[in-house]
Structure 1
């Protein structure tokens, strides 16, 4: 009896040692063994694409492999996101996601083609690009309270880069919180919207700080407030809308890296470490600063998962309440 007990104990110990020494799932111990594909779900040339390419250069130093940036644009980011969601979960196909494909689009498109909370393995939340409320230079409102008072006396029009875009949702949320009735004027992109704002055809816009920055500095647009939870280092003297009385107002475009659901945890952690190191490279930090991007406080995979879990219903409820639809 004692001999059998001893044999059972030795067998259990042997199995435990074998499990500990077994190869990590998905060959994670040797990951990566070939180039990694980083899918940007938007056309080349924008801030998302620029940041992805800068990060790709930094990742090569840590991973020892080339990171290829591939642009798969369409349907507000859904085309590229769906492609990654259906890819093999081995860590070699990643999505450079933003607020649209990872939080907003599911409430706008009848068939998004994937579920951002179920079909991805979160890797890292990189940061966010703050939005800013700017008005035409000759609008008679110097701060938020004057703007709200003016909007309640006469009709004002805000430009967006299109129905369902964050610049559109920002105006809708503003109306809810401020008790105003700003009229929405959708454009096909940020460029045309900004052109009409500069020309005085519309009164204001909730655009990203990178786009607005040169026009604010040169006095062609007036900054009313940051549409994010914190002030921007690019315009430190511009208070947030929340500081000026619009409690809880926060509309920013966030950036996050996700892999297909089922990607082995060791590979996710390896990628998280590599992206964390890349974000600390001086050239990458400078790119973030130049674009007005604020690095995330929590860069853990769990942090991104929790953030997406909160963002999806936040925008879904707003879209449903206001019956927002695409063109």
Structure 2
């Protein structure tokens, strides 16, 4: 009789435990139950959009649900960021963007109401570094020679950059570190990399500071003077930025170029950690696939896995750097 009573009590406790635990297991195992929207902070055809559309089918296969790509361009990705933050924090809205430098700039220069901590970065899979290059017919043979010309001949040298980009900030830093008045350089800013590259390729400006990978299309029209990296590049025959500055006895911080990947709201991560982990694993497993890597490589799209912790760290470092030098972008 005693054993029967004890068994009934344990049975009751087991039922109670299953009822208590059910919502948590369903949250993890049944997600996603419907298609997941991935919001891109740029228009169709840009780098972030190409990355997202190439990855969407594979991520969908890993999740067991289709991925729907939605483009929300404008205001330097601020429109997309606000859209994502205003959607339910349930894991059915993911943010895909070139987070560095655009997210930092919307906060520092665009008066955004959010912070970098409002997003949790699942993975930055595509990195790009900047290069400083002159038109192929330019008389300037080195970065030191170019900077000396800007210093000694005010308003005689011109450059093009994308407004608010890492390349823009690097040029401003180069002038400041070499005690060159900012107004000495005729600096033309554009809202797109294509316009900026066309200006140097067509000889409208003397040089450019912009992402290297996106410059493959104008390679025959330019000559690189430096790559903004800590080590030399196999793809561009040029010294690193600080190697190029040695004749001037100057060093500059090596700014990260573009960092593209996927993020969600921090509220979602905190509310549904199991879903966040499942989404992260789906992206990680997709990137581990040979067919995915072959597809990304054939389309000149980066495909590394650094994970949430490292991505968060890198985003905060990027923001801190831009915050330190934001006065140069006024």
**TM-score higher than 0.5:** yes
State the Cα deviation string for residues 151-177 of structure 1 (Å, max 9, x = none). 333242210233x23332232133234
Q: Aligned-pair distance for 1:90?
A: 1.2
The answer on 1:122 being equivalent to 2:136 is no
1:281 aligns with 2:289: yes
Structure 2 counterpart SS, 1:262: helix
Q: Which runs of 5 or more residues in structure 2 are unaligned?
A: 1-5, 246-250
* Two-structure CA RMSD over aligned residues (Å): 2.9
State how 1:12-161 maps to structure 2 within 5 Å: 21-24=21-24, 27-98=27-98, 99-110=100-111, 112-117=112-117, 119-155=118-154, 156-161=157-162
- State the match for 2:313 in structure 1: 306
| Cα deviation digits, residues 273-318 of structure 1 (max 9, x gap) | 111122233454345546655555x622121221222221211221
Q: TM-score, normalised by structure 1?
A: 0.82
Matched residues, number: 307
SS class of match (2:83):
helix
| More helix, by proportion | 2
1:223 equivalent in alignment to 2:242: no
Alpha-carbon distance change, 200 to 272 in structure 1, aligned in 2, over 3 angstroms: same
Distance, in Å, in 2 between the alignment partners of 1:52 and 1:113 is 26
Alpha-carbon distance change, 85 to 243 in structure 1, aligned in 2, over 3 angstroms: farther
Unaligned 5+ segments in structure 1 are 1-5
SS in 2 for 1:134: strand
Answer whether contact 1:85 1:261 (CA < 8 A) is retained. no
2:203 to 200, 203, 220: 200
Question: Which of 1 and 2 has greater Rg?
Answer: 2
Give TM-score, length-normalised by structure 2: 0.82
